[in-house]
Structure 1
């Protein structure tokens, strides 16, 4: 009898068992992975959210796990937690702001005195729009009472805006989640510092507009009574009336949309309304196509507007398909606009410096990666999104190999010269299988592929293989004589990773964090 066969081998352990001497934990798939600390999970949650859950965890379970991670961070170092929440939100690193608002509400409800004060002070940084503020009110109302500190913080949100800026918030973001500006003003009682602000508060709470009311509010009231598209066009031209102020029957009028576009429609609104603009005939004019394409591909404008790559990818996926995700609406996509969206995706990550190193970009295409939606975007699974994420590095580096793996591995002939939506569709059509995240390192060793870095895009729910990924990485390093690094790009906001936290050559980062591509580059360099 070989005694060694009857115990676990720390050099070749099945993924269904923990590596001896490590702190690996059982993951949701039944295999063993390394647990990430609460700070890593906090960033995953802030950027990826938990909408839709994952293949192995329901939305409820994933949200509870992430809420517990936020609570752990708040208890461990509340001020650091608040700074992290505010930094991720303010820098536009996340596709959606809801997780940051939720986390801030937890800090404002469960932190110590200093943490609660810091959370409330960060309210204007995290909650930049009326909708954000309504979300916060909904979250915090279920966690704590409306004490003086909370009422003062909400009042300060209104007080710090001048009358015109606040009028825009009141007209564009009128109510959400059962909350309105009327509700919050009545709770917070901010004191108006001038007659115009006083008239605006009165209009919000009482519904009647006085003589000192801001011009945008007066135009909004006129728009309610408009009988022709021409009247609305004049109001839009004179006051920059937003789309939300336009009565629904007029939102099929080409002239109204031309006026909205000419008034400087925000980039995020432009992305959401490309299909409508196409349907009403705006892009029959080649000059309009050119102007919109230039706006979409301007890196400075994208950054200033906090346009996240996920928003661009969602627009590309939907607009390029020519049909809505919900409903039966259809349109004929304009090729130049599809190309502009493709370029905008790369531009939205900013400039990434090339390393001149050798890369293996490995996409987990197992069954678990095909479930759930990234940041709640319908139809954008972690499997699809990983391909888009990998193309950022591929577009920067000259020396890379791209592979897709499940329990087997396939080398991909994908280049950034292909259009992004075509690549995503191609990844979607690959066969499913069990998850073995050791495959990229095993393949590279067997085929003598020289790599300075393995980048694995995964949910870390690995369980199928005969050896753990970190064991395969160690074997590769020894066999090839290359101190290769492993970067795990987390595509789901769970608490697992295949990266060994005790290995200085391993790094955990978050998928679709706008900071990730440069972070990869810096780490490998």
Structure 2
């Protein structure tokens, strides 16, 4: 007798539906790898884009195609409920949950150009909240030009960005971020025609439009003194001691200092005294290269203390992925340039601690948790466009945060079972990982990076858990959702696991790419899709598991 139910069934016997075909009766769509998964709603994809962006594309999708797909999805949300899109953009931007602000600025520009009148008004009113720095404003101007012209609303919003700032803060922004992406403050001010609220603002506007440093700014206010001090470093042949004194007196930033002076340790020492935490993390290599940060030095101790300060990380909105990027680059001792540096161990340790601290305190669920890392070939794509950090590296880093929280956890990495031998691997395709959050983050990431890779079978962690009778309450799968190689869909495997093990197990899918797919069945309340490298993800996972 032929068992027709091997090929079509509605209960877990439908396990025999391969991932290369849709589950009968489901709304699954074909993913980029040729397998089948669920299509994210436009709103879910908007969240992925706001966190992950589309820089660098994915293994299967070019940067251009991925950006267009995400933009079309965002446009659909704007057409459905534009003010809701603007509110979501503001929430994600202000909370610091996303590694970068450019996707939020881009969607805000879309809303300001493509939305209906209430949406456009809401987007322009939100500009000062989302574009918090001069760089943000200039990025937004570059994006907005693709969707609309300079009408009255844009002029009013850009004018408010300048006029609502206190004079010293305005001077700071004009000096620190003079131009970006083909736009300058001179361009913005000439188009917006803001009306200065004081003579001090007028002087600052005049200096920016005249491209400054020609005629000295007159006035005794702190804002104008800041401008004169910065201009003086560029105009005069100031020596390092005089530059350090000016930096301390006026709290200048490294962007305001000429490159010739940044070769001196005493200049960096003065900058370090009031350096914002994000700038500090970005300039660790430079300060080490000039000898300021050295083993046992006071600067090294100061840097380590600031980097590992949880409250300071939160106030500065330092995102964990930026810490991970800094850790990997600094510990390597070499960046894109020719000059290297000798990493200082105490700073590396502080960066390792800062990664976990940047996620904030996570309340554990106390559930038995299986952390499953997709290490297939497609996960070798760079995450967030960052060179040297792949999706599989980022997955390992994310999983360590949950592992540090949940005492009853188990680590595995997976590719595909029967297909793995094609790429030289052996065994089931699933590898238990002997890693611990007590290990250094960069060591764990390096260990995961060295694993063999092959096809993608996202059901494998669940089928192997059933075969080995592992008791699991929550499966957490870190993947790009480009699964295709298995003989059973993950959702079907989970339902069989529940029935045969008698455990109401849940599945959390951590999406590591901003594509439009998920292996989580949206009709199953025991499955959840979250965005990889959303700073809120570890707590969301614990809450869902609980």
Please state if 1:482 is matched with 2:482: no
For structure 1, the 5+ residue unaligned runs are none
8 A Cα contact 2:277 2:316, kept in partner: yes
8 A Cα contact 2:373 2:412, kept in partner: yes
- Stretch of structure 1 that moved more, 426-435 or 7-16: 7-16
Deviation at residue 220 of structure 1 after TM alignment: 1.1
Q: Partners in 1 of 2:235 and 2:319 — Cα distance?
A: 37
Please state if 1:52 is matched with 2:56: yes
Q: What SS is found at the alignment partner of 2:362?
A: coil
8 A Cα contact 1:226 1:232, kept in partner: no
The equivalent residue for 2:394 is 385
1:31-110 aligned within 5 A: 31-110=35-114
Q: Partners in 1 of 2:334 and 2:516 — Cα distance?
A: 36
- Classify 1:24/1:239 alpha carbon distance in 2 versus 1 (closer, same or farther; 3 Å): same
Q: Partners in 2 of 1:513 and 1:135 — Cα distance?
A: 22
Candidates 246, 252, 270, aligned match of 1:241: 252
8 A Cα contact 1:366 1:432, kept in partner: yes
The equivalent residue for 1:502 is 523
Please state if 1:218 is matched with 2:219: no
1:464-483 aligned within 5 A: 464-483=485-504
The equivalent residue for 1:4 is 4
Q: Partners in 2 of 1:346 and 1:45 — Cα distance?
A: 23
Candidates 23, 27, 30, aligned match of 1:26: 30
The equivalent residue for 2:324 is 313
Q: Partners in 2 of 1:32 and 1:339 — Cα distance?
A: 42
Please state if 1:292 is matched with 2:303: yes
The equivalent residue for 1:250 is 261
User: What is the TM-score normalised by the length of structure 1?
Assistant: 0.98
Please state if 1:176 is matched with 2:185: no
Deviation at residue 331 of structure 1 after TM alignment: 0.9
Aligned length: 522
Candidates 456, 474, 477, aligned match of 1:435: 456
Deviations 1:142-166 (A, max 9, x none): 2111100011101011011011000
8 A Cα contact 1:272 1:315, kept in partner: yes
Q: Partners in 1 of 2:387 and 2:3 — Cα distance?
A: 52
Deviation at residue 36 of structure 1 after TM alignment: 0.9
Candidates 416, 438, 455, aligned match of 1:417: 438
User: What is the TM-score normalised by the length of structure 2?
Assistant: 0.94
Q: What SS is found at the alignment partner of 2:384?
A: helix
8 A Cα contact 1:202 1:209, kept in partner: no
Q: Partners in 2 of 1:129 and 1:497 — Cα distance?
A: 35
Deviation at residue 230 of structure 1 after TM alignment: 1.5
The equivalent residue for 2:19 is 15
The equivalent residue for 1:522 is 543
8 A Cα contact 1:48 1:94, kept in partner: yes
Q: What SS is found at the alignment partner of 1:353?
A: coil
Deviations 1:32-64 (A, max 9, x none): 001110111001001011111111111111101
Deviation at residue 69 of structure 1 after TM alignment: 1.1
Candidates 397, 402, 405, aligned match of 1:396: 405
Deviation at residue 225 of structure 1 after TM alignment: 2.4
Deviations 1:302-346 (A, max 9, x none): 01111000110000000001111x122211111111000000000
Q: How much is the aligned-residue C-alpha RMSD, in angstroms?
A: 1.1
Please state if 1:511 is matched with 2:532: yes
Q: What SS is found at the alignment partner of 1:363?
A: strand
Candidates 352, 374, 383, aligned match of 1:342: 352
8 A Cα contact 1:172 1:244, kept in partner: yes
Deviation at residue 118 of structure 1 after TM alignment: 0.4
- Stretch of structure 1 that moved more, 10-19 or 345-354: 10-19
Please state if 1:327 is matched with 2:337: yes
Q: Partners in 2 of 1:471 and 1:119 — Cα distance?
A: 42
Q: What SS is found at the alignment partner of 1:282?
A: coil
Deviation at residue 2 of structure 1 after TM alignment: 2.1
Q: What SS is found at the alignment partner of 2:484?
A: coil
Q: Partners in 1 of 2:102 and 2:6 — Cα distance?
A: 50
Candidates 329, 351, 355, aligned match of 2:361: 351
Q: Partners in 2 of 1:84 and 1:54 — Cα distance?
A: 24
Deviation at residue 365 of structure 1 after TM alignment: 0.3
Deviations 1:337-361 (A, max 9, x none): 1000000000000000111110000
8 A Cα contact 1:361 1:454, kept in partner: yes
Candidates 189, 196, 216, aligned match of 1:192: 196
Deviation at residue 192 of structure 1 after TM alignment: 0.8
Deviation at residue 3 of structure 1 after TM alignment: 6.4
8 A Cα contact 1:109 1:116, kept in partner: yes
For structure 2, the 5+ residue unaligned runs are 417-428
The equivalent residue for 2:424 is none
Deviation at residue 233 of structure 1 after TM alignment: 0.8
